[in-house]
Amino acid sequence: MELVEKIEPFIIIFSIITGLIFSNISIINQNMGYLINVFLCLMIYGLFLETEVTELKNSFKNLKFTFASLIINFIWTPLFGYFLGSIFLKGNLDILIGFFMLILTPCTDWYLVFTKIAKGDTKLSLSILPINLVLQIILLPIYLILFFSSKITLNYTQIIYSLSIVIVIPFIASQVTKFVLNKNLNETTELFSNLQIWFLALTVFCIFASQGSILFDNLNSIISIFIPLIIFFGVNVIIDLLLSEKINFTYPEYASLTMTTLARNSPLALAIAINSFPGHELIAIGLIIGPLIELPVLYIVSKFCLWVKNSGLFFICNNLF
């Protein structure tokens, strides 16, 4: 498994490129959208297998982590995201809305994979997931109306359906598996742990295979949205490090906070955009481009977090603050 871990970024990049190539084949891109949820479910199922529900309850006791992540995700991020979008995407409302939806929706799936790569506290990161889900559903329409002064109609049935598929079903399946296998659970858990990177790669492939044609038709949008996204990631990496040092987080807490506040929920936001804004394909552009930039960035940041840990920088700065 060590070799696979070393080539993970190349696996992800290969998935992106392959997905874009296959997006030109109509019989494939028309059916890939359904497979996104399948592979997300398998990836999350494996993560739930590794996590004990009793331990998740203890994670909620870390109020300092909870408040720090919620403030960054739902107060700082919307304000900063709208500021960046207004500067770099001014004049294109659809792309600006897509960018804003991407920024506003914290990830509910693959951030856990990158948290694990960064040696963060996966259980702690998982504990914040239900709160992120509820708040992004409630606050997304409020922020859209607040910042864009227009009535936005969201398909809540589709939102509930998407969340049920990606979160509820894998959770129930994992608990049934634990009950049935009981003492023989370790082999199954190890198997799905080793397969997580491949489920992630297949998810990425399906995203780009299903929506790549829109990306090709609007290549100029890549340049306009690339700069604010990179600035968003760069600034938040610095904020996460400084804040973690200031409030005396342990390294696993710091790594978890970084991934929780950086990773965006592109698949879920894409499903919401497609079902809520028919006829406005440009809104989906930001959500399609998001993983193209986000996934390599998350991998690089996960390695940066490990470098911070191994270099002793995190503990040195902790003492200074």
Q: Which residue has the higher pLDDT, 75 or 141?
A: 75
Task: Provide the pLDDT for residue 5.
Answer: 61
Q: Which residue has the higher pLDDT, 154 or 41?
A: 41
Give the rounded percent of residues in the chain with a pLDDT score beyond 70. 80
* pLDDT tens-digit map of 285-310: 777 777 778 888 998 999 999 999 88
Say if residues 199 and 12 touch (Cβ distance below 8 Å): no
pLDDT of 41 > 90? The answer is no
pLDDT of 316 > 60? The answer is no
> Which range among 47-61, 129-143, 305-319 has the greatest average pLDDT?
129-143
SS3 content of the chain, % helix, strand, coil (to 5): 85, 0, 15
List Cα–Cα distances, 44 to 24, 37, 39, 68, 119, in angstroms.
29, 10, 9, 24, 18
Nearest to 60 by CA among 129, 118, 117: 129
Phi, psi of 109, rounded to the nearest 5 degrees: -145, -80
Q: Looking at residues 48-58, what average pLDDT do you find? A: 65
CATH architecture of the domain with range 2-320: Up-down Bundle (1.20)
Q: Which of 23-32, 117-126, 148-157 shows the lowest per-residue confidence on average (mean pLDDT)?
A: 148-157
Residues in the chain, overall count: 321
> Which range among 118-127, 167-176, 233-242, 294-303 has the greatest average pLDDT?
233-242
Task: Provide the pLDDT for residue 1.
Answer: 46
3-class SS at 155?
A: coil
Say if residues 69 and 257 touch (Cβ distance below 8 Å): yes
- CA dist., res. 168 & res. 269, Å (int): 17
* pLDDT tens-digit map of 275-286: 667 667 778 777
- CA dist., res. 261 & res. 154, Å (int): 24
- CA dist., res. 151 & res. 46, Å (int): 39
Say if residues 85 and 228 touch (Cβ distance below 8 Å): yes
* Direct distance between the N- and C-terminal alpha carbons of the chain, in angstroms, rounded to an integer: 38
Task: Provide the pLDDT for residue 249.
Answer: 92
| Mean of all residue pLDDT scores within the chain | 80
